[in-house]
Amino acid sequence: MSNLVEISQVEKEYGRKKQVFTNLNLSLESGKIIGLLGPNGSGKTTLIKMLAGLLKQDAGEITINGQKVGPDTKAVVSYLPERTYFNESLKIKNLVNMFKDFYADFDEARAYHMMELLKIEPEMVFKKLSKGNKEKVQLIMVMSRRAKLYLLDEPIAGVDPAARDYILQTIITNYDTQGSILISTHLISDIENILDDVIFVKEGNIVCHQNADTLRNEKGQSVDEIFREVFRC
Amino acid sequence: MAWKFDNSSPIYIQIMEQIKKMIARGELKPGDRVPAVRDMALMAGVNPNTMQKALSELERAGILVSNRTAGRFVADLNDNNINLKNDAGYKLTKNYVEGMRELGFNDEELVDRVKGFIEG
């Protein structure tokens, strides 16, 4: 049986001095919400960018849905970057139209419906939204695609607890059990309830890849507590 | 996010306990339909896979039954010889008795404490 994502013997460095991955091997199954957990600088964003096709590994192979990362995989991968890449002077409706043009699997009605619930009008300019609403709109756009793999890079960083709840709820509501969601974060206690599996990355190595409930059962601790132990400075 | 979880033990087991409590209190009665997995997951603020696991385990324990077309229901627990209220009560009693013994109270004293507490 083939996995949704297969990463084998991947190496990645930024120049000679900064080696991120020396031999990365990882498989991700379909139908899971997976937490990619690690401290700053452990390689989370680099890994997500390689899966999104924005960075190329120096060696090794990455396949998604059986295909090497490229235009074919971009059509089935929905990516939420850490920082916005939207042209902020566009109106919401222009952003929606852009997504509709770019992605065959984008569900326009779903996006507008979710924004209506938040009282965000199509005529509003993205720049004028509050920080929380900007985050929400970006998530709505990304989650309105019917993708196989969602890559969410720090989706809950820097928003208030109510917005955080909204974001988690949006993820659960829109998650269809055919696809998988990879969420990177260091705010573990906020998110651990919705995770099936957790991956701990430490200095470019996968130190743990396990079902969250199995881990809690084995250690009698929360994922957050286990994380603090593994990454104690 | 309505349900509170203690993240140091498996979430699906805590969901099972919550649902058992709802049945023990009579909020869910035998024959009542259990909402769809997705709705339950949203209510609890958990992943649908985790909710699915909790509900399947409850089915395995004979507490829920699933009907292929109509959904999931609370089982006729009398038929299955299950008394969730008694089970939950037994657990609480066990915790109390064991906790008191550990503190060094003898059995007579711990019974007296309960009586004293109730009489105020």
Q: Which domains does chain A have, with CATH numbers?
A: 5-230 (3.40.50.300)
Quickly state the pLDDT bin for A190 (edges 50, 70, 90). Answer: confident
A120-123, Cβ contacts within 8 angstroms, sequence gap of 24 or more = A120/A92, A121/A92, A122/A91, A122/A92, A122/A93, A122/A96, A123/A91, A123/A92, A123/A93
What is the per-residue pLDDT across B66-111, written as a single tens digit (0 to 9) for each? 988 888 999 988 777 778 888 888 999 999 999 999 999 999 999 9
> Do residue A225 and residue B48 have CB atoms under 8 angstroms apart?
no
* The predicted structure's pLDDT at residue B70: 85
Tokens of B50: 């985790």
A47 to chain B, closest Cα gap in Å: 24
* The predicted structure's pLDDT at residue A177: 77
What is the per-residue pLDDT across A65-82, written as a single tens digit (0 to 9) for each? 999 999 999 999 999 998
Question: Which residues of chain A are within 8 Å of residue B49 when distances are taken between CB atoms?
Answer: 31-33, 177, 196
What is the per-residue pLDDT across A111-121, written as a single tens digit (0 to 9) for each? 999 999 888 99
* The predicted structure's pLDDT at residue A73: 94
- Answer whether residue B1 shows pLDDT above 70: no
What is the per-residue pLDDT across A1-44, written as a single tens digit (0 to 9) for each? 479 999 999 999 988 778 899 999 999 999 999 999 998 889 99
Taking alpha carbons only, the member of B58, B49, B4 closest to residue B28 is B58
Other residues' Cβ atoms within 10 Å of the Cβ of residue A153: 21
Tell me the pTM: 0.85
* The predicted structure's pLDDT at residue B8: 87
- Answer whether residue A230 shows pLDDT above 90: no
* The predicted structure's pLDDT at residue B34: 93
- The interaxial angle of helices B37-44 and A161-174, nearest 10 deg, is 170
Other residues' Cβ atoms within 10 Å of the Cβ of residue B45: 18
* The predicted structure's pLDDT at residue B18: 93
Q: What's the distance, CA A53 to chain centroid?
A: 13
> Do residue A213 and residue B12 have CB atoms under 8 angstroms apart?
yes
Determine what percent of chain B falls in helix, strand and coil, rounding each to the nearest 5: 55, 10, 35
Quickly state the pLDDT bin for B2 (edges 50, 70, 90). Answer: low
Other residues' Cβ atoms within 10 Å of the Cβ of residue B73: 16
Give percent of chain A with pLDDT exceeding 70: 99
> Do residue B11 and residue A213 have CB atoms under 8 angstroms apart?
yes
B44 to chain A, closest Cα gap in Å: 10
Question: Which residues of chain A are within 8 Å of residue B56 when distances are taken between CB atoms?
Answer: none
What is the per-residue pLDDT across B7-58, written as a single tens digit (0 to 9) for each? 888 999 999 999 999 998 889 999 999 999 989 998 898 999 999 999 999 9
Question: Which residues of chain A are within 8 Å of residue B50 when distances are taken between CB atoms?
Answer: 196, 213
- Answer whether residue A57 shows pLDDT above 80: yes
ipTM exceeds 0.90: no
- Answer whether residue A86 shows pLDDT above 60: yes
What is the per-residue pLDDT across A110-148, written as a single tens digit (0 to 9) for each? 999 999 988 899 999 999 998 889 989 999 999 999 999
> Do residue A193 and residue B12 have CB atoms under 8 angstroms apart?
no
